[in-house]
């Protein structure tokens, strides 16, 4: 073999090398306090080689046969889970490579089949480990990227939504590190909005659990959390797929109270978002008695409040029409017959 021209390694060889390097990395980390430099170097090298195989270089296109072999090796050796488990031990560039490799293998398609998606369905631990990634600062964003890629597939989203770990998101979106919290929020939003039918079914079945937790977000100390979650709430409720969830939400007087408090928030943005949820309570043609009672009790105050509400939005015709409609509706509310 020529000394200068290294023959390109086969997918089998590279994945074996990567696996060995990762195992060494894991072992050295557990034994000593410090991560072995050699193992880390080997890992990065293998990752770069694999990335080249998957994405090709400027003068060589990736080959289908190599991709198939590589994917096969990855499934057989449980490589995806191994990579994610050891993600925090891999150096900075290597972490980015892992995310890219993961996403590429995930997108793999044969005809109408997505073999990696099918594979992950049998190994849901991969998804749970990715979610747990939000608890570790140094890998949170990489895991976020991979999770959102997973969220593109309905089958994987289903596993995530119906797992107990999903409810950790209510914690993650509020962590003190801003970039992690907002990354977690965008994943959270993706999971709840991407696959409409699935999400509607999930919200209906888990209404109480989800919305009890959701209320904490709306009452958060953190302005960004409050604002983002209120906006998402509006989007969820006004999505026609979630019609029955919306009907349920707007018949609960506590929710109405919360929205009325938010209408009076200091932030104009929050006021405006709250308006779009509040309007549905009022427009509801069959308002339950408790809702009517609240509206009636505050009838005059609400009319006065709405009349002076965001009067500078003169160019937004729809908003003004809606506001006028609400004022009219509230004005025309008839006192309830006494309770029997």
**CA–CA separation, 73 vs 314, rounded Å?**
62
**CA–CA separation, 231 vs 315, rounded Å?**
21
Residues lying near other proteins in the complex (CB under 8 A) are found at 109-112, 154, 196-197, 238-241, 243, 246, 280, 283-285, 315-318
Residue 315 φ then ψ, to 5°: -80, -15
Min separation Cβ 321 and other proteins, Å: 9
Instruction: State the SS3 of 261-288.
Output: HHHCCCCHHHHHHHHHHHHHHHHCCCCC
Helix, coil or strand: residue 24: helix
**CA–CA separation, 274 vs 111, rounded Å?**
46
Cβ proximity to other proteins: between 88 and 241 the closer is 241
Min separation Cβ 237 and other proteins, Å: 9
CB 160 within 8 A of CB 151: yes
Cβ proximity to other proteins: between 200 and 270 the closer is 200
CB 248 within 8 A of CB 242: no
Helix, coil or strand: residue 83: helix
Cβ proximity to other proteins: between 213 and 251 the closer is 251
Min separation Cβ 93 and other proteins, Å: 28
Min separation Cβ 106 and other proteins, Å: 14
Cβ proximity to other proteins: between 109 and 212 the closer is 109
Cβ proximity to other proteins: between 210 and 282 the closer is 282
Min separation Cβ 316 and other proteins, Å: 7
Min separation Cβ 111 and other proteins, Å: 6
Q: DSSP labels for 156-216?
A: HHHHHHTSGGGGGHHHHTT-SSHHHHHHHHHHHHHHHHSSHHHHHHHHHHTHHHHHHHHHH
CB neighbour class for 94 (10 Å; exposed up to 12, middle 13-18, buried from 19):
buried
Cβ proximity to other proteins: between 90 and 330 the closer is 330
Cβ proximity to other proteins: between 53 and 250 the closer is 250
Min separation Cβ 26 and other proteins, Å: 36
Residue 316 φ then ψ, to 5°: -90, 90
Of the candidates 171, 161, 275, 253, the one whose C-alpha atom is nearest the C-alpha of residue 220 is 171
Min separation Cβ 47 and other proteins, Å: 26
CB 158 within 8 A of CB 139: no
Cβ proximity to other proteins: between 42 and 190 the closer is 190
């Amino acid at each position: 073999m020529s000394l200068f021209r290294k023959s390109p390694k086969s997918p089998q060889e590279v994945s074996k090398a990567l696996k060995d390097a990762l195992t060494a990395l894991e072992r050295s980390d557990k034994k000593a306090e410090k991560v072995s430099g050699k193992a880390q170097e080997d890992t990065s090298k293998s990752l770069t080689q694999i990335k080249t195989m998957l994405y090709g270089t400027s003068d060589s296109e990736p080959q289908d046969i190599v991709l198939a072999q590589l994917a096969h090796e990855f499934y057989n050796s449980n490589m995806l889970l191994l990579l994610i488990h050891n993600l925090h031990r891999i150096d900075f560039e290597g972490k980015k490579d892992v995310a890219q490799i993961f996403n590429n293998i995930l997108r793999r398609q044969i005809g109408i089949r997505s073999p990696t998606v099918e594979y992950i369905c049998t190994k849901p631990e991969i998804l749970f480990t990715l979610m747990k990634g939000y608890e570790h600062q140094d890998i949170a964003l990489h895991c976020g990227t991979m999770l959102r890629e997973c969220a593109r597939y309905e089958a994987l989203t289903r596993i995530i939504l119906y797992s107990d770990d999903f409810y950790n998101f209510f914690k993650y979106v509020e962590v003190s590190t801003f970039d992690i919290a907002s990354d977690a929020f965008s994943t959270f939003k993706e999971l709840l909005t991407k696959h409409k039918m699935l999400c509607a079914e999930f919200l209906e079945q888990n209404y109480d659990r989800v919305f009890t937790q959701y209320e904490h977000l709306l009452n958060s100390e953190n302005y960004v959390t409050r604002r983002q979650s209120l906006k998402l709430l509006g989007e969820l409720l006004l999505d026609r797929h979630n019609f029955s969830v919306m009907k349920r939400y707007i018949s609960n007087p506590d929710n109405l109270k919360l929205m009325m408090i938010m209408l009076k928030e200091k932030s104009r943005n929050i006021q405006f978002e709250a308006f779009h949820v509040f309007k549905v309570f009022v427009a509801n043609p069959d308002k339950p008695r408790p809702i009517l009672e609240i509206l009636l009790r505050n009838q005059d105050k609400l009319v006065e409040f709405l009349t002076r509400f965001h009067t500078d939005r003169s160019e937004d015709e729809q908003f003004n029409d809606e506001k006028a409609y609400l004022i009219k509706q509230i004005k025309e509310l008839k006192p309830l017959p006494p309770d029997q």
